[in-house]
């Protein structure tokens, strides 16, 4: 007894000497109080001189020197307080863009969402020299307002039509006239292109400001999806065009409008019914438009060049794959007007290639058994490419520089972790953002050789605060499956971990094609939730199974035409592997996932009903028949061609195998993974006589956020874990 009292006194004394007693992480800290919010740098824009950059702050647009990281004295390119005095109704500016001469600034505000990634705003033009500040248009909000290269005009989309505004005369001219909601779209994307090809902008100025190339979507034959939005005496119907797997897509055309002649030319880009145009861009030649075309199966990709004067089209590059081709992360035409860069998996890993505009391969610039992530900067004068890749490990992202000829490759990043880099004009400087698994973002300025010049933001306060809230950390490991496949994982254990004690195990999964969750980077809100669960006595694990990214094409594409099969096998085997460890209670293994992860967690507790005790599925796909054409058919082809690929791994078809605790969560306003998925899963479980739990969030979309919603959701899930695992 005396020894115990002495130990308690020593512990209390140590706590007093160390300053601050450890605090436990709460959901209020994570979702309501912003306790762990990291500081960042907003809207970085490099200036043309390559020596300066700008950022957006509450007080305006401020100019800084790369070399020192110091604000240029007395230079505030746009002063918000002063402008508010001139315009009392002026709202907070949300983004900005310079014209090519850096004499005007286009500012946007009062954003209203349309789909998940797009919306409309009010736009203003600010003249830096004259300090004039004017609303672009009095006729309503616009989308995608963009300066012409000569800075004399802007173009924008309103009500699915394209307009041009002369900034001197203020004349607003409409150049398309057939735009109509849920029928014809000019200058921007339909729902599925925006969601799956990651593009919103659908018009592009030619380099000489004399032409605009644009998309036209005819979605009149695409079937509508209807969502009821609740809140009034009667719910509102929200209808939008959503092509489900195997159904009719929009007919997509590419057109060029010529400003001097006011004529529009439609380009012959092929059969619009069974193909996609995921990218278009002007080359350095003001008369040459490049077009990327894919067949509907997405296993053939072509690059076309269109002559704007004659409308003649030639094919300069073709690539085919036995499975599918992802839209290249890099597709860049150089200023020399003779070459372009593109990333491709044609040798088994994602690498950078240079081609001539005649379609001849000049050089495969990067090689090796690793994936290139992104091209961050191109120095054409010095013939250097700055890029990030997975060379050190699939879990890391490193920064390199390499010559155009593939020689003199140099690693610029330092410690292992995840780097991104924003390069200034001419690539003389770059701003780096570094994190690792347990380090919040660190922003630094470097010169072209990688030498660190300035620390802009190290989030030291947050790093110190993290230590006050426990010692749980994320660590990494690898295990080998029974099929001889090495899988990467991360794990978060209680700080007081005792290897002789058996802990409940909680899996977090996503697992979608090409995705990665097991990465050496700071994880934000879920990172703290996992630490919180570890403080409650759980071990949290995440495994990247087959089909995920960062490990080459073969590892990623093994799931082709059988989506869910290998992913489920791997997560069940991972659970069995950890269940055999003496420090895991194999009778208390749970799993949680969102979206594709919700699909996988649902499938896992059904096919692995002897392994998982509890599963939580948020916004899950329950049958790929309900998901969109571009994503689903890329991996499964059409259901008319591959019915078994759709049905053999649909959770709905295995509902009768449920044994454990199952919680399904969905937002009724989810325009991505429709609420219909949850309803059909619920119906299948009821038909099979299976008990389960459910939570619906009225009008919430796929992200399920807004107000206290995230706090409510994570409270629900935490309680469910504590009660059922």
pLDDT tens digit string along 191-210? 999 999 999 999 999 999 99
Q: How far apart are CA 292 and CA 300, in angstroms?
A: 11
Region of 687 please: left (phi>0), alpha (psi -120 to 50) or beta.
Answer: alpha
Predicted pLDDT of residue 683: 98
Q: pLDDT band for 86, please (50, 70, 90 cuts).
A: low
Q: pLDDT band for 272, please (50, 70, 90 cuts).
A: low
- Grouping H, G, I as helix, E, B as strand and the rest as coil, residue 328 is coil
The residue whose two tokens read 């038909």 is 687
Q: Cα 599 from chain centroid?
A: 19
Of residues 616, 602, 377, 633, the one with CA closest to residue 513: 633
pLDDT digits (tens, 9 = 90+) for 580-607: 999 999 999 999 999 999 999 999 999 9
Q: What is the average per-residue pLDDT within 372-389?
A: 97
Q: How far apart are CA 401 and CA 407, in angstroms?
A: 10
Q: State the virtual CA torsion across 57, 58, 59, 63 in degrees, nearest 10.
A: 0
Q: How far apart are CA 306 and CA 286, in angstroms?
A: 11
Residue 545 has pLDDT above 60, yes or no: yes
Q: How far apart are CA 723 and CA 725, in angstroms?
A: 6
User: Is the Cβ–Cβ distance between 678 and 622 less than 8 Å?
Assistant: yes
Predicted pLDDT of residue 115: 87
The residue whose two tokens read 């009225």 is 698
Q: pLDDT band for 507, please (50, 70, 90 cuts).
A: very high
Which segment of 82-96, 576-590, 621-635 scores lowest on mean pLDDT?
Answer: 82-96
Predicted pLDDT of residue 234: 94
Residue 1 has pLDDT above 60, yes or no: no
Q: What are the φ and ψ backbone dihedral angles of 493, each rounded to 5 degrees?
A: -110, 155
Q: pLDDT band for 6, please (50, 70, 90 cuts).
A: very low
pTM (2 d.p.): 0.93
Q: State the virtual CA torsion across 672, 675, 680, 683 in degrees, nearest 10.
A: 160
Counting residues of the chain whose pLDDT is more than 90, the rounded percentage is 88
pLDDT digits (tens, 9 = 90+) for 311-363: 999 999 999 999 999 999 999 999 999 999 999 999 999 999 999 999 999 99
pLDDT digits (tens, 9 = 90+) for 137-165: 989 999 999 999 999 999 999 999 999 99
Q: How far apart are CA 50 and CA 358, in angstroms?
A: 32
Q: How far apart are CA 594 and CA 620, in angstroms?
A: 6
pLDDT digits (tens, 9 = 90+) for 480-491: 999 999 999 999
DSSP string, 371-434: -EEEEEEEETTTTEEEEEE-SS-TT-BEEEEEETTS---EE---SSSEEEEEEPGGGSEEEEEE
Q: 56 or 588: which carries more pLDDT confidence?
A: 588
DSSP 103: S
User: Is the Cβ–Cβ distance between 200 and 117 less than 8 Å?
Assistant: yes
pLDDT digits (tens, 9 = 90+) for 653-692: 999 999 999 999 999 999 999 999 999 999 999 999 999 9
Predicted pLDDT of residue 7: 42
| Four-residue CA torsion sign, 557, 561, 563, 566 | negative
Q: What is the average per-residue pLDDT within 513-517?
A: 97
Of residues 618, 625, 495, 480, the one with CA closest to residue 546: 480
Task: For residue 131, give every residue at least 6 positions away whose Cβ sits within 8 Å of its Cβ, in sequence order, or none.
Answer: none
Q: pLDDT band for 510, please (50, 70, 90 cuts).
A: very high
β-sheet bridge partners, residue 542: 490, 508
Q: How far apart are CA 138 and CA 446, in angstroms?
A: 44
Of residues 521, 529, 465, the one with CA closest to residue 490: 521
Q: How far apart are CA 501 and CA 493, in angstroms?
A: 12
Q: Cα 147 from chain centroid?
A: 26
pLDDT digits (tens, 9 = 90+) for 694-707: 999 999 999 999 99
Residue 465 has pLDDT above 80, yes or no: yes
Of residues 509, 507, 475, the one with CA closest to residue 490: 475
pLDDT digits (tens, 9 = 90+) for 250-265: 999 999 999 999 999 9
Q: pLDDT band for 94, please (50, 70, 90 cuts).
A: confident
Cβ atoms within 10 Å of 65's Cβ, excluding its own: 16
* The pair of three-digit structure tokens given for residue 471, joined into one six-digit string: 């010692």
Average model confidence (pLDDT) for the chain? 93
- Enumerate domains of the chain plus CATH numbers: 466-724 (3.40.50.1820)
- Grouping H, G, I as helix, E, B as strand and the rest as coil, residue 126 is strand
Residue 505 buriedness (CB in 10 A; 0-12 / 13-18 / 19+): buried
Task: For residue 188, give every residue at least 6 positions away whose Cβ sits within 8 Å of its Cβ, in sequence order, or none.
Answer: 118, 143, 144, 157, 160, 200, 201, 202, 203, 215
Q: How far apart are CA 509 and CA 506, in angstroms?
A: 10
Predicted pLDDT of residue 133: 84
Q: How far apart are CA 29 and CA 529, in angstroms?
A: 10
Counting residues of the chain whose pLDDT is more than 70, the rounded percentage is 94
DSSP string, 186-199: ESB--HHHHHHH--
Q: How far apart are CA 317 and CA 474, in angstroms?
A: 44
Q: pLDDT band for 43, please (50, 70, 90 cuts).
A: confident
Q: How far apart are CA 370 and CA 539, in angstroms?
A: 31
The residue whose two tokens read 């992860």 is 597
The terminus-to-terminus CA distance of the chain in angstroms comes to 35
Q: pLDDT band for 92, please (50, 70, 90 cuts).
A: confident
Q: pLDDT band for 130, please (50, 70, 90 cuts).
A: confident
Predicted pLDDT of residue 4: 39
């Amino acid at each position: 007894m005396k020894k115990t009292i002495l130990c308690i006194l020593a512990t209390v004394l140590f706590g007093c000497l160390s300053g601050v007693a450890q605090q436990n992480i709460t959901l209020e800290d994570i979702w309501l109080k912003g306790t762990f919010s990291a500081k960042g740098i907003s809207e970085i824009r490099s200036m043309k001189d390559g020596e300066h950059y700008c950022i957006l702050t509450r007080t305006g647009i401020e100019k800084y020197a790369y070399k020192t990281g110091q604000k240029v004295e007395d230079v505030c390119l746009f002063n918000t307080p002063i402008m508010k005095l001139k315009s009392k109704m002026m709202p907070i500016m949300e983004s900005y863009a310079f014209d090519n001469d850096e004499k005007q600034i286009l500012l946007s505000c009062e954003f209203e969402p349309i789909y998940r990634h797009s919306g409309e705003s009010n736009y203003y033009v600010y003249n830096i020299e004259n300090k004039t500040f004017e609303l672009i248009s009095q006729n309503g909000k616009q989308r995608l307002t963009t300066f012409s290269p000569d800075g004399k005009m802007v173009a924008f989309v309103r009500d699915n039509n394209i307009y041009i505004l002369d900034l001197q005369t203020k004349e607003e001219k409409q150049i398309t006239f057939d735009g109509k909601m849920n029928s014809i779209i000019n200058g921007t994307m339909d729902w599925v292109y925006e969601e799956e090809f990651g593009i919103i902008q659908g018009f592009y100025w030619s380099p000489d400001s004399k032409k605009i190339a644009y998309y036209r979507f005819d979605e009149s034959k695409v079937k509508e999806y209807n969502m009821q939005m609740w809140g009034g005496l009667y719910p509102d119907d929200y209808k939008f065009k959503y092509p489900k797997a195997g159904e009719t897509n929009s007919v997509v055309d590419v057109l060029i409008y010529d400003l001097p002649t006011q004529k529009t030319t439609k380009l012959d880009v092929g059969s619009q019914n069974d193909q996609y145009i995921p990218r278009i861009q002007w080359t350095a030649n003001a008369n040459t438009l490049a077009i990327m075309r894919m067949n509907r199966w997405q296993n053939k990709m072509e690059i076309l060049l269109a002559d704007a004067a004659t409308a003649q089209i030639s094919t300069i590059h073709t690539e085919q794959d036995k499975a599918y081709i992802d839209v290249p992360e890099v597709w860049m035409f150089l200023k020399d007007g003779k070459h372009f860069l593109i990333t491709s998996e044609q040798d088994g890993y994602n690498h950078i290639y240079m081609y001539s505009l005649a379609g001849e391969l000049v050089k495969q610039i990067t090689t090796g058994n690793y994936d290139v992530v992104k091209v961050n900067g191109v120095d054409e004068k010095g013939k250097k490419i700055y890029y990030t890749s997975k060379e050190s490990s699939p879990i890391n992202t490193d920064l390199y520089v390499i010559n155009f000829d593939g020689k003199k490759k140099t690693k610029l990043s330092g410690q292992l972790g995840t780097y991104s880099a924003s390069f200034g004009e001419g690539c003389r400087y770059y701003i780096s953002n570094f994190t690792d698994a347990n380090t919040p973002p660190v922003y630094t300025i470097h010169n072209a050789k990688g030498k660190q010049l300035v620390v802009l933001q190290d989030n030291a306060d947050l790093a110190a605060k993290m230590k006050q809230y426990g010692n749980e950390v994320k660590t990494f490991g690898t295990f080998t499956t029974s099929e001889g496949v090495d899988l990467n994982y991360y794990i978060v254990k209680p700080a007081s971990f005792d290897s002789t004690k058996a802990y409940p195990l909680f899996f977090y999964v996503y697992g979608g094609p090409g995705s990665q969750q097991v990465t050496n980077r700071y994880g934000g809100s879920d990172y703290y939730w996992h630490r919180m669960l570890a403080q409650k006595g759980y071990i949290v694990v995440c495994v990247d199974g087959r089909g995920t990214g960062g490990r080459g094409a073969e590892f990623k594409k093994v799931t082709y035409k059988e989506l869910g099969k290998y992913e489920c096998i791997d997560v069940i085997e991972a659970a069995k592997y950890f269940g055999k460890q003496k420090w895991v209670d194999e009778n208390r293994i749970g799993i949680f996932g969102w979206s594709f992860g919700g699909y996988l967690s649902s499938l896992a507790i059904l096919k692995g009903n002897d392994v998982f005790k509890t599963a939580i599925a948020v916004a899950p796909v329950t049958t790929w028949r309900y998901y969109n054409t571009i994503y689903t058919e890329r991996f499964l082809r059409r259901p008319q061609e591959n019915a078994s690929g759709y049905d053999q791994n649909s959770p709905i078809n295995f509902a009768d195998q449920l044994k454990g605790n199952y919680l399904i969560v969905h937002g009724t306003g989810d325009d991505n993974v429709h609420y219909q998925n949850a309803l059909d899963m619920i119906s299948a479980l009821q038909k099979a006589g299976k008990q389960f739990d459910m939570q619906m969030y009225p009008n919430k979309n796929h992200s399920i956020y807004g107000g206290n919603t995230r706090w409510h959701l994570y409270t629900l899930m935490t309680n469910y874990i504590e009660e059922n695992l």
